[in-house]
Structures are given as C-alpha cells and as structure tokens.
Amino acid sequence: MSTHPERERMALRDWSQPAERTVVGGMGMNHEESALILIRHCQDMKRQEARLRLISLLLMLSCAAFFFYTNTSGSQERSPEPGKAFWQQSPCPSENGGIQPPLRIFLRANLTTVENDSVLSWESSNSIKSYDKETDSIVIPGKGFYFVYIRFTLVCDDRSSFASQAFAVQLQLLSRGYPHKQPLLEAKDRWDCSDFGFHNVFVGELFELEKEDLLSVFLIKGSHMVTASQFGVFHL
C-alpha cells in the first residue's frame, strides 16, 4: 500500500510535463503573432507616410503649374506695364459674397541702378500699395501662402574675353519684430563668356508669410551682365 502513492505521483509528474510544453509552445505562438502584427502595422505606417509625401509633392507641382499657366496666359492676353501689378480673379468667394482677387505682383528691375552688393530697385507706379519704394521691397498684405520668384536674363558684357563670369543673387525677408534680414532663396551661376548666347536664371519657391513681411532682392555679383529682371509674388 505504501508504493501506490509514489506511483501516482510519478504518473502525475509524467502527465504534467507535456502540458507545460503545450503552454510554452502556445506562448511562443502568441509572440510570433504579435511580432507579425507589429511588422504589418509598421508597413502600413510607411505606406501612409509615402502617400502623404506624394500628395504634398503633387500639391506643390500643381501650384507651380497653375502659376506658370496663369503667368503665360496673362502675358499673352495683355502685357503689363513695367512695375504695374495686375490681378486675377479667384474662384473662391469672399466673406461678403463677391469674388476676391488674390494678390499678384509683377515688377521689372530699374536697370539704371543695378549694382553689386546692393538691393535691386524696381519700376513701380504710385498706385501699387504692396511695394515700398524706400526699402525696394514687396509688402505682404496678409498672412498666407505665397509663391515668390525672381528671373534674370544675363549676357557677357565683353564677348572677346574668355574669362568665366559669376552671378549670384539672394531673396531676403525682413519680418516685423526682427531687425535683420533673413535669406530665403539664393541662386548662383558661372559660365565661360565664349558662349555668346543669353543665360536665364530663375528661382522660385512657395512660402508661408506673415502680414507686413518685406521681400527684397539682393544682388551679390554679376550686375554688369543683367539685361532684364523680373520680381513677382503670387498669393495662393
């Protein structure tokens, strides 16, 4: 009678071992499933991030395409006078129910005052409230997104010279409450004057600007090559 309890304990021990392995195996399967779920979640997040980047890129490209289309069509229908700002109606209604035209400024440089290491001045009429003649800057009327661009047409002044010519220009921002100008864009170029053709330099970008921000163009070098220049702002 004394041996039966020991046999029963041994039998119970033998039966308990497979049960423990089953539980452990089940726990291992749960860890694998959790890892797979985490990997799938990370993949979904990466796909969503890629979609957002693609949408942002398409939005930027559409804004740039819309700007160039309106700029080209507007110049074909009517050629603005030097320094004259013209408006294009927006399909978005204003608060009073009418059509609110977005700000669109197109300025041409005053070539008689083009010098290196100086702020370019622009031809403008007194009716343009968005241009400050004292600082030679475009004044942003309100907070929003603006496409700002600069275009230069350059040619070597001495075509008999084979020395390389350098050109550099910078778009600067002066904000309220900050006494120093900040560079927003910069364009640089260099070429051999043995090439007798004209050279076009264009730089533009979309910015979020505040009310009464001042935008100016600072010419670093290459003033002797400038034959034409345009400075424009388009409110989106």
Contact in structure between 159 and 174 (CB atoms under 8 Å):
no
Pairing of strands 131-132, 118-119: unpaired
Q: Nearest Cα to 123, choosing from 92, 67, 82?
A: 82
> Do 121 and 203 belong together in one domain?
yes
> Do 153 and 54 belong together in one domain?
no
- The whole-number pLDDT of residue 25 equals 43
> Do 115 and 218 belong together in one domain?
yes
- The whole-number pLDDT of residue 186 equals 93
Per the structure, how many domains does the chain have?
2
E strand segments, the chain:
104-109, 118-119, 122-123, 131-132, 137-139, 144-154, 164-174, 182-192, 199-209, 214-221, 226-235
Q: In which residue are the tokens 């797979």 written?
A: 36
- The whole-number pLDDT of residue 148 equals 95
- The whole-number pLDDT of residue 143 equals 92
How far is it, in rounded angstroms, from Cα 122 to Cα 64? 24
Which of the residues in the chain have pLDDT under 50? Answer: 2, 11-12, 15-28, 73-98
Secondary structure element (H or E) that encloses residue 33, with its range:
helix 3-77
> Do 61 and 118 belong together in one domain?
no
pLDDT tens, residue by residue, 155-174: 876 655 566 788 999 999 99
- The whole-number pLDDT of residue 168 equals 95
**Within a domain: residue 21?**
yes
**Within a domain: residue 212?**
yes
> Do 41 and 133 belong together in one domain?
no
- The whole-number pLDDT of residue 218 equals 96
Give percent of the chain above pLDDT 90. 33
> Do 214 and 157 belong together in one domain?
yes
- The whole-number pLDDT of residue 224 equals 87
Which residue, 45, 79, 113, sits at the end of a domain? 79
How far is it, in rounded angstroms, from Cα 48 to Cα 55? 11
DSSP letters, 162-175, are -SEEEEEEEEEEE-
> Do 143 and 224 belong together in one domain?
yes
pTM for this one? 0.59
pLDDT tens, residue by residue, 27-53: 445 677 777 788 887 888 888 888 877
Residue numbers of the domain that contains 37: 1-79
Q: In which residue are the tokens 């230069």 written?
A: 152
How far is it, in rounded angstroms, from Cα 24 to Cα 31? 11
**Within a domain: residue 91?**
no
- The whole-number pLDDT of residue 212 equals 92
Q: Nearest Cα to 115, choosing from 215, 187, 200, 218?
A: 218
Give the contacts of 81 (CB within 8 A, at least 6 positions apart).
Answer: 125
> Do 132 and 220 belong together in one domain?
yes
